[in-house]
Amino acid sequence: MKILRWLIGTLMLLCIAVLIIVRPLPFLFYPDLPHVGFLGRGLYIIILACVLCLYRIWRGPTGADRIVAIDILGIMIIGLCAILTISTGRSWYIDIGIAWALQSFIGTLALSKYLEGKGFDE
């Protein structure tokens, strides 16, 4: 079982490496801005991190694990918004990031209060 997990992880890393070498992820409406190639390759890395987070949400043994993963996913989406700001040249993406940071913080506090009030085992 352990060998299978290591195998799957190595396969994912190899896939990401091949994709990074072959071609950057295309943006939908991108004009001729600098750094688009580098940032398009960086999006693969952040997608890998999001997939690891989603694994923890899917397979968390308790509710607290899922709440932690949701919090971390929210923080990483802010980084994604910053990267989109540079690569598409539209400044309202960072506004989405600020609003997301505020709302994610309040949501996490509410979920942790819920966790404290009542036993929450799955």
Partner 1 sequence: MSDIIGLIFIFIGLTFDVFGCLGLVRLPDVYNRLQAATKCVTVGTCSILFGTFLIMGFSAPGIKALLCMVFLVLTSPVAAHAIARGAHRSGIKLWDGSVIDKYKEDKEGEI
Residues contributing to the site for partner 1 (CB under 8 A): 34-35, 38-39, 42, 45-46, 48-50, 52-53, 55-56, 62, 64-65, 67-69, 71-72, 75-76, 78-79, 82-83, 85-86, 91, 93-95, 97-98, 101-102, 105, 108-109, 111-116, 118-120
Query: CA 47, 64, 100: angle at the middle one, nearest 5?
Result: 50
Q: What contacts 96, CB < 8 A, 6 or more positions away?
A: 81
**CA 115 remoteness from chain centre:** 24
Note whether 88 and 29 are within 8 A (CB): yes
Please, what is the minimum distance in Å from the beta carbon of residue 55 to partner 1?
6
Please, what is the minimum distance in Å from the beta carbon of residue 26 to partner 1?
19
